[in-house]
Amino acid sequence: MMLTAACTPEVKVLPAQTVYTELVRLVPYEELTVLDAERLAILLDVEESLLTDAAAALDASRYTPEALIVINAASKDGLGTITAALHTYRQLLLDEYRDYRPQEMYKIEESQVQVHGLQAVYMIVKDGKQALEALASVQKQ
């Protein structure tokens, strides 16, 4: 099930790196490899200029689909482009892992794009419920 929270741009959001660092501390991930803005833009097939405040990592071995992507958009339009790209990325992973590693599918199927103000967060983890609770805790800061 995929859920996108209500978009309310007036909400104050933390810097992407702050949210990323806290989520890595609070949620167990497999081995993550940090992505710079250029690689993240390529992964999501978006203009790099949309990723001026972003922090992201994924399992570069592709053994697991686990990933953590946090992006703060500068505008509603930018946020729309980013969330659409994250949903497309999710679908690509579903297609890829269905045959490659079907035992990992549950992580993608349970993954969610969360929107908080102008911030989009996409987490693929073993325990989606724990990740959502951690995100809510971080966003309350």
pLDDT one-digit tens code per residue, 13-25: 999 999 999 999 9
pLDDT above 70 for 8: no
Catalogue the E-assigned strands of the chain: 33-35, 53-58, 67-72, 112-116, 119-124
Domain locations in the chain as residue ranges: 16-135
Q: Positive or negative CA dihedral for 45, 48, 51, 56? A: positive
Across the chain, mean pLDDT equals 92
pLDDT one-digit tens code per residue, 122-131: 999 999 999 9
Using a cut of 0.85, tell me whether the model's pTM lies above it. Answer: yes
- What residue type is assigned to position 134 of the chain? A
* Local structure of 97: helix, strand or coil: helix
Whether 26 and 140 have beta carbons less than 8 Å apart is answered as no
